[in-house]
Structure 1
Amino acid sequence: MNTELTNALATVTLVDAFYQYEQTRPDDIFLRQPVGDTFIDFSWAETGRQARILATYLQSLDLPPGSPVGLISKNCAHWIIADLAIMISGHVSVPFYATLTADQLRQVMQHSGCPVLFVGKLDDWPATKAGVPTDVIGIQFPEYGPIDPDLVQWNDILDRYRPMTGTFRPAPDDLFTIIYTSGTTGNPKGVMMQYRAMAEAIEKTRPMLRHDLPETRFFSYLPLCHIAERNLVEATCLMTGGTIYFAETLDSFARNLAAARPTHFLAVPRIWTKFQLGILAKMPQKKLDLLLRIPIVSGLVKKKIREGLGLNEAKLILTGAAPMPTSLIRWFRALGITIQEAYGMTENLGAVSMMPPNQVKDGTVGKLYPGVEVKIDPVTGEIAMRSPWNMLGYYREPELTAQTLRDGWLYTGDVGEVDADGFLKITGRVKEMYKTAKGEYVAPAQIEFGFSDNNLIEQICVAGQHLPQPVALVVLSELGRSVNREQVTESLSATMNTLNPRLHAYERVKKVVVVRDTWTVDNNMLTPTMKTKRNVVEAHYGPHLEHWYERDEVVVWE
């Protein structure tokens, strides 16, 4: 059944796909929301019923057509239903990160001008609520927390309104969504995407994203407001008629993943590292290496590990959003888990390149998708790309749009190169490059990547704009915190001594500083997508850098 839309035109929108499965497979399960050891299931028909009723309510508000409608929640079945309701009511979906503080939410709410906000599964809605303008109509999801009497209740809407009659079909050039970036270097920007862009991207990447499977299952836990999850989970499921499973809590993550047995699975590098540490906690590396050398036993061990992770039926396993250490990719590959690295950004629906499963070239982010063109700026090395799914622009930001979109090319801000075999390699970020006290330009990302094989390190930020040589600030991993200081010092020194000879003289790391506090979203050191806010980290530790630099020891402890 998943091939029903394969031969359709590229302008089949997500709304068209939803209507297709709502009509042809009404009783099949579309969404599975875990509650303890059971599930609340939503068939395609039930999803359609609730989305259509919510669409009726939205239309009753007499908003101008194409109004931005906000959505803030952790991943859950109601997130998808709300997103569909916004689409089929003729409005524009504007999802926000569930981890936003009140001030951060206020900024994007005011910038987007959303007159309505869906409020869902959140850790502390009373604290976040302060960021919502008083004239905004709030609609609260059921099931996920105490009822807020100031919000319109989802179930009350279901009781009082009838499903929207007819079918609203957006035009390909209509605005589909405004996706706010995570704000690594400043205020989040609202990326405008048309329905056509998503349709084109899906059409060109069907073979790589395995639309050919007879049954597709997805596990949704990374933020759905981020383009990677929105693309791989929501959009791909809608286009294949699959089923989406959700994670209920952090504690139930492993159990929920095992129950889902996804055919498609995406994890950021930090998740893969946690998986690795979990496996090694049960089976130390020496024992694992020994068992993998025994032919029959090796196969049994690999199968057990895949089943333990819930990935025994996965056909597409991806990583993205941040560089993945080559050693970690190879480690999982030795277990029979082939992780394909993908590269892209919000501004191009996350679809620039992906590693071919049968033509792996470690150290790169794979080959370009069909329909993508890339050129490298000869002076800065910046990657510019062109595709049918580039953004329309930044919402209400014409100057920023003009800086990023030039003559049909999207300037990514990433520095990289394309090799003779057509593989793309990312070597840094234009804005992150800085000039040392000696006047030489340093690309921190490449130096940081050189430390990625050391599993005692959880987070790293190379700094030192006003120092003669760079300094590496590191946060220890759980494993790093479990061993004594002398072992950590020895390990970090060895990594630095191995890395430095491979770098230019002006790039060589002078000190490694072990800092006390973990960088988190809550302390504003990380974006909601777990990317380091380099400017915030550097500003926080900046006053201490010169003192640490002058210390005698190579590894300094804060």
Structure 2
Amino acid sequence: MPYISQMQHHAATYPSALALSEKQQGHWHHLSWTEAWQQVTQIAARLNSLGISRGERIAIFANNCVDWTLVDLAAMYLGVVTVPLYATASPGQIQYILQHAKVRLAFCGEEQSHTLASVTDELPDLTGTVLIGQHSLSSLPDNHLQHWVGTNLPAPEPYLATESDLLTIVYTSGTTGTPKGVMLTHGNLMATVQSHLQALDFSRGDRSLAALPLSHIFERGWSLIALYAGGHNHYVDDVKQMASLLPEVKPHVVCAVPRMLEKIHSGIFSKAKKKGFLAHFMVNWADVRVQRNTAQQLAGKELNGYQRRMQALATKLVGSKIRNALGGEVRFMPCGGGSLDAGIHSFFAGLGINVKVGYGLTETFGTVSLMPDVGYLPGSMGQQLPNVETRIDPKTQEILVKSPGMTHGYYLDEAATSELLVDGWLRTGDAGNKDAQGNLIFQERIKDLMKTANGKYIAPQQVEGILAREALFEQVAVIADARKFVSALIVPAWEALEDYAQSINLSYENRLELIRNSKVLEYVEHCLQEVQGELAMFEQVKKFTLLPQEFSIEQGEITPTMKLRRNVIAQRFAQEIEAMYS
């Protein structure tokens, strides 16, 4: 059944069940399946009246909102191709993508409409802009989407897409180089939906919270899977609101990236330390207990009665608090967009939080592999989904993928497509391996592997993941390529660092003075040595520089999914880096 037919089925079969929800100005607004379907058909009718027809492109340039999904579904209704854009994209990125894709109409959030307006003159194919989502004005502007859904234009019958029909062109955020347009079809979507619903426990009425950008294939893909199953999607337009919304939504599923879980992990230890000896002892005891038990189980040894009771106690004392903070009903948390440190994963899993680490790319419509419910290997990317094949190139150690969900190529880029797809296999650009049980183990992006001047290879994400266990470190960027030793740029967790300064009665005028203080540097050095003990000597950070500001999306230093843009960081902090090696 085509995807859009399933949406029509839900509206007819479960008309009053809730489908889409968001919080606006302090109040929740909900759409039932019938209401959502009516709005989808009205948006499709208006698009049709404007002459936007099958195969033509529209863009969605906004933060997460119900309107985002309504427009996406309306495009599917007509067979129109959606081009999603990150809400934080720069004018130059917007101009390039809209020109390259020959976008006819753009749906924008209020803030994003200003960005688009700055390059509109350079976009001859763009015929108009429609505002979506919340707006600061007391009355909605004339070109807001909500005026569309109040009309009664006749809608054509839904287009029943074939497997080869183009669904979307997703431009990679690109940690380096020019974005490439990944072409994904309706067949790719349906293959992805079916493989996930075979592997995961999610069904009609289950709640999902969309906090990651819908413009990224991870969150958008999961949201479409949830809706296909008859789930109830809730939207967060600012990830900073996520913590306050979790207890209200009580989601069964919420997607995360490693950085989010690293921050939760470090926050737990930091808060426990502030509460005093007993709380700090309890969290550390629980961590040691679950890590030991996990190691024993991975070695094939069963836990004895005492160990099981202690595990249950740790889950009750610490795990229950984490679970409650996540809303109390989380069944599992898909985690993608990078590797999660094995120790942090074991901490959550051992305390009853089902973090399903997975591996995927935009080019594979998201997930290739994910953690099973039992028999998982912390530090790995789990096992491949049904109907997905993976293998490792014996010469380069590159992960290769073959699946019905993978792209047929890049839009208007035959050269890049020929490099991506070789003999029916998709070359991921990631180095890794597989163990005897079929667990996929990600090592590093091949282009990000660093070779020191001594010939040793460093996988920076692995090192950064281990350092992220330390509550004092908010962000870490490892430097090692062609260098004699490993160094790091570290953004401290300011609350934790300021608490330390207060504990030793250290006075300072500003944060820059604080991070230059010799006692602070000694303390950071001590924390660094404590956390990196399990790394090989050549992998350990020998020198570091503390930075007064976080790496940001706005400055182009991280992607919207919180991956480091290493080339930007290396250029911006070239002076600080050279000082560590002088």
TM, length-normalised to structure 2: 0.85
Contact (CA 8 Å) 1:139, 1:151: kept in 2 or not? Answer: no
Choose from 548, 551, 558 the match for 2:580.
Answer: 548
CA distance in 1, matches of 2:378, 2:496: 26
Partner of 1:51: 40
Instruction: Answer 1 or 2: which has greater helix percent.
Output: 2
CA distance in 1, matches of 2:558, 2:254: 23
Cα shift readout 1:214-236 (whole Å, capped 9, x = no counterpart): 53111111101111111212x12
**Pairing of 1:349-388 with structure 2 (within 5 A):** 349-388=365-404
CA distance in 1, matches of 2:318, 2:481: 48
Where 2:406 maps in the other structure, the secondary structure is coil
Partner of 1:398: 414
CA distance in 2, matches of 1:297, 1:512: 35
Does residue 67 of structure 2 align to residue 78 of structure 1?
Answer: yes
Contact (CA 8 Å) 1:376, 1:384: kept in 2 or not? Answer: yes
| CA spacing shift, 1:500–1:262, aligned 2, 3 Å | closer
CA distance in 2, matches of 1:194, 1:127: 29
Unpaired runs of 5+ in structure 2? 290-309, 502-516
Partner of 2:118: 130
Choose from 145, 155, 166 the match for 1:164.
Answer: 155
Deviates more, 1:141-150 or 1:524-533: 141-150
CA distance in 2, matches of 1:138, 1:153: 9
Query: What amino acid maps onto 2:149 in structure 1?
Result: L
CA distance in 1, matches of 2:123, 2:398: 43
CA displacement at 1:150 relative to structure 2: 9.1
Query: What amino acid maps onto 1:453 in structure 2?
Result: R
Partner of 2:211: 221
Does residue 354 of structure 2 align to residue 338 of structure 1?
Answer: yes
Identity %: 29
Cα shift readout 1:65-95 (whole Å, capped 9, x = no counterpart): 2111100111111111111111112201111
CA displacement at 1:266 relative to structure 2: 1.2
CA distance in 1, matches of 2:417, 2:65: 33
Where 2:485 maps in the other structure, the secondary structure is coil
CA displacement at 1:295 relative to structure 2: 6.5
Where 1:535 maps in the other structure, the secondary structure is helix
Where 1:207 maps in the other structure, the secondary structure is helix
Deviates more, 1:147-156 or 1:258-267: 147-156
CA distance in 1, matches of 2:266, 2:71: 37
| CA spacing shift, 1:489–1:362, aligned 2, 3 Å | farther
TM, length-normalised to structure 1: 0.88
Does residue 11 of structure 2 align to residue 22 of structure 1?
Answer: yes
**4+ runs deviating over 6 angstroms:** 147-151, 294-297
Does residue 245 of structure 2 align to residue 256 of structure 1?
Answer: yes
Contact (CA 8 Å) 2:389, 2:403: kept in 1 or not? Answer: yes
Partner of 1:177: 168
CA distance in 2, matches of 1:497, 1:155: 55
Query: What amino acid maps onto 1:503 in structure 2?
Result: A
Query: What amino acid maps onto 1:221 in structure 2?
Result: A
Partner of 2:345: 329
CA displacement at 1:298 relative to structure 2: 5.7
Partner of 1:503: 536
Does residue 431 of structure 2 align to residue 443 of structure 1?
Answer: no
CA distance in 2, matches of 1:492, 1:479: 18
CA displacement at 1:409 relative to structure 2: 0.8
CA distance in 2, matches of 1:182, 1:518: 20
CA distance in 2, matches of 1:520, 1:407: 39
Choose from 121, 143, 154 the match for 1:152.
Answer: 143
Does residue 265 of structure 2 align to residue 276 of structure 1?
Answer: yes
Partner of 2:193: 202
CA distance in 2, matches of 1:146, 1:126: 15
Deviates more, 1:213-222 or 1:423-432: 213-222
CA displacement at 1:349 relative to structure 2: 1.4
CA distance in 2, matches of 1:151, 1:399: 44
| CA spacing shift, 1:220–1:360, aligned 2, 3 Å | same
Query: What amino acid maps onto 1:511 in structure 2?
Result: K
Partner of 2:130: 139
Cα shift readout 1:257-285 (whole Å, capped 9, x = no counterpart): 21211111211122223333554526643
Partner of 1:307: 324
Partner of 1:8: none
Compute the RMSD of aligned alpha carbons. 2.7
Query: What amino acid maps onto 2:166 in structure 1?
Result: L
Cα shift readout 1:444-493 (whole Å, capped 9, x = no counterpart): 33333342322222222222434322322222224553334635644445
| CA spacing shift, 1:352–1:488, aligned 2, 3 Å | farther
| CA spacing shift, 1:151–1:345, aligned 2, 3 Å | farther
CA distance in 1, matches of 2:530, 2:266: 25
Deviates more, 1:287-296 or 1:80-89: 287-296
